[in-house]
Amino acid sequence: MTANGYIQIACYVITLLTLAKPLGWYMARIYEDKPAGLNRWLAPLEALIYRFSGVVPKQEMGWTEYAAALLVFNLLGMLAVFALQRLQTYLPLNPQYLDGIAPDSAFNTAVSFATNTNWQGYGGETTMSYLTQMVGLTVQNFVSAATGMAVLVALIRGFIGRNQDTLGNFWVDLTRSTLYILLPLSLLLALLLAGQGVVQTFGSYQTVALVEPAVYEQPKPGADGRPVMVRVEIKKQTLAVGPAASQVAIKQLGTNGGGFFNVNSAHPFENPTPLSNFLEMLSILLIPAALCHTFGTMVGDTRQGWAILAAMTVVFVALIFVTVPAEQSGNPALAALAVDQSVNAAQSGGNMEGKETRFGIVNSALWAVATTAASNGSVNSMHDSFTPVGGLVPMWLMQLGEVIYGGVGSGLYGMIVFAVVAVFVAGLMIGRTPEYLGKKIEAYEMKMAAVVILIPPLMVLGGSALAVMLDAGKASVFNPGTHGFSEVLYAFSSAGNNNGSAFAGLSANTPFYNVALGLAMLFARYWLIVPVLAMAGSLAAKKIVPAGLGTLPTHTPLFVALLIGTVLLVGALTFVPALALGPVVEHLQMMNVH
């Protein structure tokens, strides 16, 4: 790596960690209903929302009622997005007169955006009307993110509660997450992105003259029926536009990731400049990192939040320094053929296939690690074109459960579950009942933790096995051998961990993959949320136990190492055999190792 590469990575990580504390403090004030500026200025609007929707904000919910409200709300959102897609041809704000979406694709997309996955088996600019993009997809970007944040807050209340059977009010947590956190940050980011050139318009697609006509030859039947080559000259191009900046802002801040355009944040109308690239990449991890400080503040010990943030950051930075060198090393097969892999005189070499020259290798690899560390899934380069090791890291980050920062709310509550497992294992080692944040961790909590940890691997490995066994699954694999298997494994890793990115060489917009991946997204989202809420309810009903001589401190470097080891051990034991059949074998083949 060059000094420039180190500087780019350092600037990103330092800026992220610097902003985590003030934003984390602000979010804690919001959830604790303490003065924080916006929540006092907009209090009348919040009260109006409750009055209009019939919500009694002081009425708290038990975990079952909280979960029921969440599930019903998400189901209604899912049905609304499905209906919008099916009926868009009859609805306004469709200047290109796009047809309604096929049922299987509409199901997949509705599930994808409701679950905060934002997997896309379609091209946005050729499939979705402006109304569907805004009222359907953008709205779900807000509320699916707010749902994850609400679950996290409920879990925190489980730790700080004493002998109580309630976790707060889902509608209040949802409203405050949206009104005071996601909306203001999205408005600010959308304005900054629009200033950088991200499009925001209701106008029709624009037809423009090419600076230089494109000329090529294509076959055409001749008089005798035999094909003859004819010259074709294209002088005009149709440019897709639309209200993109508003959707791009929340797709990044809410760790959603769904692109307004097919190539996502590699598109110059979604991500035109190095500054827009930095802002979008920063916003992917901003809220998940800041929520760690929110957690520490709300439980009354900021060291707890910093310990979890430290564990996340150590793994994140370590994997950056695996991915970036892997991409900068290039392809030895091309080097053996004396092919110059450099982009220009300033860049000596590296794997630039599938990457934008305006971002380069470092920013492309950094984005790939950040977007799969979070449950974001947006891309500024094509992960399918990464080297085997460069592609393995994003895949493995998802397979770890997307707890290295992870989605807004979902990443941290997943990491807290791993923390519970870590203290339980430590308790077994010393023969003492484990405790975390003053609450005894007993059989019920461990059962719920086991469900949370085991469901995503079941979706990933079970779905991948089914896909490579059935003709319907194999029919979409156009790259034979190990890379084709990697594409299938990546798809189910993405769906089974609510990420949304893809090895796009797999043709996934088919009835089989739309249904299979849709089911994986549903189970991976809600079969984790319900056990987490059940754990929160159990913890809230317990008394707080004072720390004793045998209590494991959970804010020390030792615990950070134990937490990292727990996460990596589960990931290694679960997915290394599958990875060995895909990217590991592919790397050995690339290196000509027999």
Question: Is 533 a member of any domain?
Answer: yes
Predicted pLDDT at 340: 65
Question: Is 229 a member of any domain?
Answer: no
Residues of the domain holding 573: 3-202+242-590
Pick from 250, 300, 501, 534: nearest CA to 382: 501
Predicted pLDDT at 224: 79
Question: Is 213 a member of any domain?
Answer: no
Give me the phi and psi of 238, to 5 degrees please: -95, 125
Question: Is 126 a member of any domain?
Answer: yes
Residues whose CB is less than 8 angstroms from the CB of residue 338 and which lie 6 or more positions away in sequence, other chains included: none
Separation of alpha carbons 257 and 247, rounded Å: 10
565 phi-psi bin (left φ>0, alpha ψ -120 to 50, beta other): alpha
Pick from 401, 411, 508, 534: nearest CA to 458: 401
Question: Is 578 a member of any domain?
Answer: yes
Separation of alpha carbons 371 and 405, rounded Å: 10
Separation of alpha carbons 33 and 176, rounded Å: 9
Contacts 24+ apart (CB under 8 A), 429-433: 430/550, 430/552, 432/550
Question: Which whole-number Å values give the CA distances from 135 to 247, 406, 463, 526, in the listed order?
Answer: 10, 26, 31, 23
Contact of 383 with 416, CB cutoff 8 Å? no
Looking at residue 549, the DSSP 8-state letter turns out to be: T
Contact of 25 with 297, CB cutoff 8 Å? yes
Contact of 167 with 63, CB cutoff 8 Å? yes
Predicted pLDDT at 346: 44
Unique residue bearing structure tokens 């807004």? 408
Helix (H) or strand (E) holding 211: strand 206-221
Neighbours of 199 (CB within 10 A): 23
Residues whose CB is less than 8 angstroms from the CB of residue 383 and which lie 6 or more positions away in sequence, other chains included: 354, 368, 391, 394, 490, 501, 502, 503, 504
Low-confidence stretches of the chain (pLDDT < 50) are 344-347
Number of domains in the chain: 1
Determine how β-strand 227-239 pairs with β-strand 435-436: unpaired
Type of residue found at 356: E
Question: Is 577 a member of any domain?
Answer: yes
Question: Is 136 a member of any domain?
Answer: yes
Pick from 160, 137, 141: nearest CA to 149: 141
Predicted pLDDT at 570: 84
Neighbours of 481 (CB within 10 A): 12
Predicted pLDDT at 330: 82
Question: Is 83 a member of any domain?
Answer: yes
Helix (H) or strand (E) holding 221: strand 206-221
Pick from 276, 364, 374: nearest CA to 316: 374
Looking at residue 334, the DSSP 8-state letter turns out to be: H
Structure tokens at 34: 């303490």
What residue spans of 470-555 are helical by DSSP H? 471-474, 482-496, 511-540
565 SS3 class: helix
- Whether the full predicted model's pTM is greater than 0.75, yes or no, is yes
Radius of gyration of the CA atoms of the chain, in A? 24
Please report, to the nearest 10 degrees, the dihedral formed by the alpha carbons of residues 249, 252, 257, 258 taken in order: 0
Give me the phi and psi of 342, to 5 degrees please: -75, 150
